[in-house]
Amino acid sequence: MMDENKQINNTSQQLGEPTEVKQAMKSDSPAQINFNESGSEVTEQVASQANVSGDAATINAETGVAATDNTGVETAALAELTQQIESLKTQLEERSTQYMRIAADFENYRKRTSKEKEELETLMKRNTILELLPVVDNFERARAHLKPQSDGEMTMHKSYQGVYKQLVDSLKRLGVSPMRPEGQEFDPNLHEAVMREPTDEHPEGTVLEELVRGYYLGERVLRHAMVKVAAPKEDTPSTEQDQSSQAFS
């Protein structure tokens, strides 16, 4: 047995094996050697895992801090954006209110100027027609008083009556229409009483005759009609005196 060990030693020396291998080969407990080697490997693995866990914990801590910072930044940015949106909404409401107010003012201005323009046009038309009405009155007086006898007079009568008719048609196109107050109740908004005639045939205040014709311009009074109005007929004072004298006799 000793000879075999010597041979092994000699062979190991010749092959250049390390002393630890030789000692291991000489050892009588190979299981113990394997146990020591496995323990060292487990220790290294545990250390490695501990290092990895530590690194992971460090990373997680840093990530948590970064996430907290990011959340704070996002919250501040969101609050700022919300404030800007509210400010823009307020500005939009103010601009909308201003626009509506300006639009309403412009619409009122447009209506007012349109109405003023219509009133000015009506006033100018009224003044122009009022200047022409005396001409119409003269034509009507001439037609009422002139009685043509000869053919020449009839020809002249027809000629100026043609001019009168043309003038009246032009006034009608402008919206002028004559009043017809005969037989109506006196209205101070339409008529001007220049004469009173006592009568029993008509009620008091009835228009008996139109002395100067009145006219409308549209629905407005262009010129009041000058009229004669019925008045109650008074009893004669002589009859009353005769009756009183007979009573004292």
191 forms beta bridges with: 225
Most confident of 62-71, 99-108, 147-156: 99-108
Other beta carbons within 10 Å of 193 = 17
Query: Over pLDDT 90: what percentage of the chain?
Result: 35
- Rounded CA gap, 7 and 20, in Å? 17
Buried/exposed 42-79: b ≥16 CB within 10 Å, e otherwise: eeeeeeeeeeeeeeeeeeeeeeeeeeeeeeeeeeeeee
List, for residues 192-236, the tens digit of each pLDDT value.
Answer: 999 999 988 888 889 999 999 999 998 889 999 999 999 988 754
Which tops the pLDDT comparison, 101 or 151? 101
Confidence at residue 56, expressed as pLDDT on a 0 to 100 scale = 54
Other beta carbons within 10 Å of 208 = 20
Mean pLDDT along residues 67-79: 78
User: What's the DSSP call for residue 185?
Assistant: B
Q: Return all residues near 178 (Cβ < 8 A) that are at least 6 apart.
A: 213, 214, 215, 216
- Supply the mean pLDDT for the chain: 75
- pLDDT at residue 60 greater than cutoff 80: no
Other beta carbons within 10 Å of 183 = 9
List, for residues 134-168, the tens digit of each pLDDT value.
Answer: 999 988 888 878 787 888 878 888 888 888 899 99
Nearest to 215 by CA among 142, 143, 125: 125
